[in-house]
Amino acid sequence: MTRSRASRASIFVIAALAAAIVASVSAGCSTTALAGKPGATVSPKALAALAGDAGVKVELNRWAVFAPASGVPSAGFIFYPGGNVDWRAYAPSAREIARAGFLVVIAPMPLNLAVFDANAADSIIAAFPNIGRWAIGGHSLGGVMAARYAGRRGGKVAGLILWASYPAKSDDLSKSPLRVASISGARDGLSTPAKIAASRALLPPSTIWTVIEGGNHAQFGWYGPQKGDNEAAIAPEAQQDAIVAASVALLKSLE
């Protein structure tokens, strides 16, 4: 075997092994009770939100499901966590969106990276047939993969909610009928204001743009400071309130 053939064979073997690992991790995520990321920093406030309360029911099994304690929601929100972020960090905002009358499903990802299960929403939509309208969204990398799903699974979702995120250049949604909300922080050091502005060409003209003054990247969840980010000039609670309000507004437009 020539060196080039040997190299190609090695690449195929490595790719096959990687695919097997991902498949194994994915299978584990789909059949066992939810677990957090080992060693992750998650705020006590986030952990407390997993218990639900008088207004919101929480189910933790294949996914983290937040539902209004009374009434039947007509619209739902599928959420993909940020890259390498523990899904539990988004529980407080999920609970508050559910309190507004919507089903919210957080999809934990293999290796905490949404790129490994960008089509996770397929199973979620199938599991809740009574939900008539869906929006999908995510934080950072999770939002990138949510945008990919929304663009390539036409008709399955009606809305897209981006938290400090934007589509990849290969996922042009500018002519999409989707209802889109882009929510970003003015002090975000990762999904910077410049990057968010550049994404306008990839999103529909009707996109609703919300810039949270003083908001940064890490305060889209409850997991502490993030390398490369700027320090926020707004309290986490205030930033979360703005995120929830903008997300609920988009979901209400789907009803």
Q: Per residue in 218-248, pLDDT tens? A: 999 999 999 999 999 999 999 999 999 999 9
Give the closest residue to 224 by CA, choosing from 63, 116, 82, 94. Answer: 82
Domain count, the chain: 1
Which regions of the chain does DSSP assign to beta strands (E)?
56-60, 64-68, 75-80, 103-106, 133-139, 159-163, 179-185, 208-212
Residue 5 domain-assigned? no
Structure tokens at 128: 């809740």
Domain ranges, residue 75: 33-252
Residue 181 domain-assigned? yes
Structure tokens at 19: 């695919």
Residue 207 domain-assigned? yes
- β-partners of residue 183 are 163, 210
Residue 232 domain-assigned? yes
Q: Specify the 3-state DSSP secondary structure of 110.
A: helix
Range 160-166 average pLDDT:
98
Task: Write the CATH number for 179.
Answer: 3.40.50.1820
- β-partners of residue 76 are 103, 134
Residue 11 domain-assigned? no
Predicted local confidence at residue 176, as pLDDT: 97
Residue 28 domain-assigned? no
Range 12-27 average pLDDT:
40
State what percent of residues in the chain have pLDDT above 90: 80
Residue 130 domain-assigned? yes
Q: What is the pLDDT of residues 180-193, one digit of tens each?
A: 999 999 999 999 99
Predicted local confidence at residue 37, as pLDDT: 63
Instruction: Please tell me the pTM assigned to this model.
Output: 0.87
Residue 199 domain-assigned? yes
